[in-house]
Amino acid sequence: MSEGVRAIDSGSLVDHAVRAVRDHIREHDLKVGDTLPGEGAFADRLGVSRAVMREAFSTLAALRQIDVGNGRKPRVAAIDGSVLSTSFDHAVATAQVTLGEIWDVRRTLELRTAELAAIRRSDADARAIVGHAEAMTAHGGDLDALTQHDIAFHQAIAKASGNVLLYTIIRSFESVMTAEVPAAWRAHSSADQRAAILDQHRRLAQAIANRDSVAALAEMNTHFDISIADPFARHSTAI
């Protein structure tokens, strides 16, 4: 067994192997898509079994830090929000955080994404954002389609912000939104209420398309006031 493994005074061999792979990525300045040595190479270097390295690789893959697959070398993975999403789902399901708290964080982040999107958006971004707003109106009577386009609308704005971390965090709310956005729409059951909210989505989309960051920020703030904040505040109080 190597000196490195004998020197471990805390944590398991798998923990040590996980740290070693992370250290390798940092020390070699590896980027997304770059390949890593295989299980055997790391096992020999660290003086551990292949079973230990297999478990370490599985742990890193579950955390979306590496991509592994049969017949190819492991690669450095891109962040995708899935780990955060799982944590958020667990936190809500176990009452560690409320939906109101989730939506409060969303509001804080999405005010910034709207502002940045208006400044940085590409023409393709603008088309996607406006397209989802129009699709929401077209599918206003279909709650499933309405929810899908509503979520995609917010993700498109976050993507247009040009901030990868903001986009990743917004995407990580998707599973919570898939379950809870329909409740927000059901809370606005009258035709007039829904028409007003759909119109507000279109105004927000147009402000971003017009590169009007002041209007985009104001419209996103209004969006949370009229279409999300009140229904979820009541829901959070109820539970």
Region for residue 11 given its phi and psi (left: phi exceeds 0; alpha: psi -120 to 50; beta: otherwise) = left
Q: Is the pLDDT of residue 73 over 70?
A: yes
The strand ranges marked E within the chain are 66-69, 72-76
Name residues whose C-beta falls within 8 Å of residue 160's C-beta, 6 or more positions apart in sequence. 113, 116, 117, 120, 121, 122, 125, 126, 128, 129, 208
- pLDDT confidence band for 92 (50 / 70 / 90): confident
CB contact at 8 A, 5 and 48: yes
Q: Which pTM value belongs to this model?
A: 0.80
Mean pLDDT of 167-183: 89
Angle at 203 between CA 147 and CA 122, to 5 degrees: 85
| Residue for token pair 């969303």 | 106
| Residue for token pair 């891109």 | 78
- pLDDT confidence band for 228 (50 / 70 / 90): low
How far is the C-alpha of 235 from the C-alpha of 141, rounded, in Å?
Answer: 23
- pLDDT confidence band for 83 (50 / 70 / 90): confident
Least confident of 57-61, 118-122, 182-186, 212-216: 182-186
Mean pLDDT of 205-212: 98
Averaged pLDDT score across all residues of the chain: 88
- pLDDT confidence band for 3 (50 / 70 / 90): very low
How far is the C-alpha of 106 from the C-alpha of 137, rounded, in Å?
Answer: 23
Could you tell me the two tokens for 186?
A: 């059901």
- Of 152, 167, 161, nearest to 119 (Cα)? 161
- pLDDT confidence band for 103 (50 / 70 / 90): confident
- pLDDT confidence band for 51 (50 / 70 / 90): very high
Q: Comparing 220 with 2, which gets the higher pLDDT?
A: 220
Mean pLDDT of 108-112: 97
DSSP code per residue over 19-68: HHHHHHHHHTT--TT-B---HHHHHHHHT--HHHHHHHHHHHHHTTSEEE
Mean pLDDT of 12-16: 93
